[in-house]
Amino acid sequence: MREFYGVTLANALMLGTAQYPSPAVMQAAFRDSGASVATVSLRREAGQGQAFWDIIRDLGVRVLPNTAGCHSAREAVTTARMAREMFETNWIKLEVIGHADTLQPDPFGLLEAAEILTREGFEVFPYTTEDQVLAQRLLDAGCRVLMPWGAPIGSGLGLNNRYGLRMLRAAFPEVPMVIDAGLGLPSHAAEAMEMGFDAVLLNTAVAQAGDPAAMARAFALAVQAGQLAHAADPMGPRDMAAPSTPVIGKAWL
């Protein structure tokens, strides 16, 4: 398992904490999945009071505060500073949204905010696209983790640009990477891990499932299967059939 800013996670599954039918259902999802990180949006969850924060802390996992809903670098930086004070962590999932419909990251605002936050000692997890130029700029700014999207947030579409994601993974083999957003099925998570990504982060696919705890466990098993498959060095696709049964020694009639 890859390290994230010096921290080795026991489980490559990261879960969000929004949209669950109840706090009890959210707790069950974390318990049944064994997820090692909980992402929390300071802006979205602030209205739920101290009881909600106590529940998050009682999950016994690492908290990754999130600047979700921020549409400018200034807004994201302010939210990150507030999150560090509240959760006493330098970890921050940095989102700067640039498009209201697709929730695509704003590359310019993202880079600006990342530069400011890394200078202030934050350990930034930038929500980005699969663009290699932007990835290099974020690394140059001091980010040591990348979080490319699979598809638009909450869409459930899976891995929209498999070619781009494979090229990104290949271009920066030593950089820890988390596929974030757009995963809808456990098979999507398995595919991401098979491609060599180090973790997946999701929320909607679990929180809005008919049985969130069962779906969370399904994602956890899929992540493990994908990790094992990647480590086993899977065969590549072929254009032609290849017999699996040897033909040497077969009688030709």
| Ramachandran angles phi, psi of 236, nearest 5° | -90, 165
CB atoms within 10 A of CB 217: 20
Active site residues: 93
Go through the chain and tell me how many residues it has. 253
| DSSP 8-class letter at 46 | G
42-72 as b/e: b if 16+ CB within 10 A: beebeeeeeebbebbeebebbbbbbbbebee
What does the DSSP assignment read for 166-197? Answer: HHHHHH-TTS-BEEES---SHHHHHHHHHTT-
Report whether 150 contacts 160 (CB < 8 A). yes
HSE of 183 in the Cβ direction (CA atoms, 13 Å)?
32
Tokens of 76: 């994201």
> Residue 10 to residues 46, 113, 187, 198, 199: CA-CA distances in angstroms?
28, 29, 21, 12, 11
How many whole angstroms separate alpha carbon 68 and alpha carbon 70?
6
